[in-house]
Amino acid sequence: MFMNRQWRISLSASLAGLLCDGRMKRLLKNKKGMTGIETAIILIAFVIAASVFAFAVLNMGLIATQRAQEAVGAGLQQASSSLLLDTLVLKAGTGGNPTTPLPFKVDNITILVKIAPGQSPCDFNQTRLAISFKNNYTFIQNIFTMGTGDFIPSYNESYNFRTPGSFYAPPIGPTSYCSIPALCTIMVLQGNGNPVLEAGETFAININLVGIEQVYGKPARIGSYDQFLVDIMPSVGAKLTVMARVPVSVQPVMMLLTGGPS
pLDDT for the residue numbered 20: 56
Question: How many Cα atoms occupy the beta-carbon half-sphere of 82 within 13 Å?
Answer: 21
Average pLDDT taken over every residue of the chain: 77
pLDDT for the residue numbered 35: 61
- Give the tens place of pLDDT for each residue, 135-171: 988 999 999 998 888 899 888 877 777 655 433 334 4
**Confidence bin at 79 (pLDDT 50/70/90):** low
Give 200 or 1, the one with higher predicted confidence. Answer: 200
**Confidence bin at 21 (pLDDT 50/70/90):** low
pLDDT for the residue numbered 7: 47
The mean per-residue pLDDT over the stretch 105-114 comes to 92
The angle subtended at Cα 192 by Cα 190 and Cα 197, nearest 5°, is: 70
pLDDT for the residue numbered 31: 55
Give the C-alpha separation, 228 to 221, whole Å. 10
pLDDT for the residue numbered 41: 78
- Give the tens place of pLDDT for each residue, 22-68: 555 555 555 555 566 777 777 888 788 888 878 888 888 777 777 77
- Give the tens place of pLDDT for each residue, 168-190: 334 433 434 445 778 999 999 99
Torsion of CA 215, 220, 221, 222, to 10 degrees: 180
Could you tell me if 182 and 161 are in contact, meaning their C-beta atoms sit under 8 angstroms apart? yes
- Give the tens place of pLDDT for each residue, 195-243: 999 988 999 999 999 999 988 888 999 998 999 999 999 988 888 999 9
